[in-house]
Structure 1
Amino acid sequence: MKSFMQAGSNLTIPAPAAVSSDEVVIAGNIVGIAAGGAGAGDLVDVVVTGVFDLPKVAANAFTLGAVVYWNATSKLATSTASGNTKLGVAVEAAPADTASVRVRLSGF
């Protein structure tokens, strides 16, 4: 296959802002988790598939399979779609009294 370039589970892209390892990265429709730190505009490896534990809004509860969004201002996963970016789906329940939600990235 001459046209195959890579599997695509990790992408190397210019960081849209300064990021640390394990932070959510949103660059247009690319959504993933930084595999390392980078300054704004520097190349960063972003994991776009897989399951990650992410901090969430304390008041939000997620059921198995619920859509999870990212609030870039608070840097927390949320159940609120309006004004936020879709990350993926919860792969297990996360009650309101828990600090994180386990999310399978959608791999946009």
Structure 2
Amino acid sequence: MKNFLQPGDALDCVAPSGGVVSGTPVIIGSLIGIASVTAAEGAPFTLQRKGVYRLPKTSAQAWTQGAKIYWTSGGKATTADSGNTLIGIAAAAAANPSDFGDVLLGPTTV
């Protein structure tokens, strides 16, 4: 293939308004991933697009494996879709209460 550029597991991006923090989800339009480094607004950084990440979650939720997971504007993973952005699926069950959950990044098939 002459038009293949890269696998896309990690993309070079420019940090949006407010910058990015290493290990946290970043949403740039419809592009979603995890920042590999902390970068100030306008600085280059690598966005990890695939993998399973342990993320802070809404403590008072129980997750089942395979549940759709969304990111809130307050910086928590949640199963509540209203007003939140879909980031992936629960890679494992998470108890209520618990502060973290494992999320497989990427689109869901449901």
Q: Same fold (TM over 0.5)?
A: yes
Structure 2 Cα separation of the partners of residues 105 and 62 of structure 1? 15
Q: CA deviation at 1:101?
A: 0.8
In the alignment, what sits opposite 2:20? 19
- SS of 2:87's partner is strand
Structure 2 Cα separation of the partners of residues 80 and 4 of structure 1? 37
- Residues 32 and 9 (structure 1 numbering): CA distance in 2 closer, same or farther, change over 3 Å? same
Structure 2 Cα separation of the partners of residues 102 and 36 of structure 1? 20
Please list the CA deviations of residues 3-43 of structure 1 after superposition, one character each: whole Å capped at 9, or x if unmatched.
Answer: 11111000111111311210110000111000011111211
Per the normalisation by structure 2, the TM-score is 0.92
Q: CA deviation at 1:50?
A: 0.6
- For the 8 Å contact 1:24–1:32, the answer to whether it is kept is yes
- Residues 52 and 21 (structure 1 numbering): CA distance in 2 closer, same or farther, change over 3 Å? same
In the alignment, what sits opposite 2:5? 5
In the alignment, what sits opposite 2:56? 55
Q: Which contiguous aligned blocks of 4+ residues in structure 1 show a shift greater than 2 angstroms?
A: none
- SS of 2:94's partner is coil
In the alignment, what sits opposite 1:66? 67
- SS of 2:104's partner is strand
Aligned Cα root-mean-square deviation (Å): 1.4
Number of aligned positions between the proteins: 107
Q: Which runs of 5+ in 2 are unaligned?
A: none
- SS of 2:88's partner is strand
Q: CA deviation at 1:107?
A: 5.5
Structure 2 Cα separation of the partners of residues 46 and 10 of structure 1? 5
State the identity %. 39
Which AA in structure 1 matches 2:5?
Answer: M
Per the normalisation by structure 1, the TM-score is 0.93
